[in-house]
Amino acid sequence: MINYVPRKNSNVLLLTSYHSKLKQGFKRPNIINEYNLGKGCVDSRDARIEDFSCKQKTNRYIMLMLYFIVEVCINNGFLLMRHQQSYQKTKKCFMRELSAQLVKQHIEMRYQNEKIHAQSEHAFIHYRLPQNHKCYRYQL
């Protein structure tokens, strides 16, 4: 356990089993330096996630956790696709493509049912993009 006081009336209490004891004569413990090195990645991830968020207002904490996991998965998927040389689309286009692919099978299954054919037809129209959109037209 490390008690670090960076300035007067400010206290940082850290618990770690990874780091060794603090060596005398250093201003800052190693755990603080390593935390500060990784802090930028978390901040940049949060900034990328906040651009397009799927969160909704809810009182159930489990749903908030699910929304966060979905957002991180979308962000990671976009970063993996962006590392491909041929993928040059924006994150918004990626999210639209992903959502269309996720609902494609469900919409096609509903399209087979005659009772809900009209609703499914509306969904087909809703998830297709106009011809002049910069993303390609979805193949549903």
Number of domains the chain contains? 2
Say if CB 2 and CB 16 are below 8 A apart: yes
Lowest mean per-residue pLDDT among 67-76, 79-88, 110-119: 110-119
Residue span of the structural domain in which 125 resides: 90-129
Q: What is the pLDDT averaged over residues 45-50?
A: 68
What is the chain's length? 140
* Assigned domain for 74 exists: yes
* Assigned domain for 134 exists: no
Element (H, E) at 96: helix 91-112
Whether residues 53 and 80 share a domain: the answer is yes
Whether residues 71 and 115 share a domain: the answer is no
Whether residues 46 and 94 share a domain: the answer is no
Whether residues 65 and 113 share a domain: the answer is no
Q: What is the pLDDT averaged over residues 15-32?
A: 66
Look up the pTM and report it: 0.53
Mean pLDDT of all residues belonging to the chain: 72
Share of the chain above pLDDT 70, in %: 61
Whether residues 37 and 58 share a domain: the answer is yes
pLDDT interval class at 94 (50, 70, 90): confident
Whether residues 112 and 125 share a domain: the answer is yes
The Cβ-side half-sphere exposure at 100, using a 13 Å CA radius, reads 18
**Helical spans, DSSP H, in the chain:** 30-51, 61-82, 91-112, 117-126
Whether residues 35 and 84 share a domain: the answer is yes
Would you state the pLDDT for residue 18?
Answer: 67
* Assigned domain for 37 exists: yes
The answer, yes or no, to whether residue 131 has pLDDT greater than 50, is: no
Would you state the pLDDT for residue 5?
Answer: 78
Share of the chain above pLDDT 90, in %: 0
The answer, yes or no, to whether residue 23 has pLDDT greater than 50, is: yes
Whether residues 95 and 48 share a domain: the answer is no
Domain boundary among 55, 70, 88: 88
pLDDT interval class at 26 (50, 70, 90): low
10 Å Cβ neighbour count for 53? 12
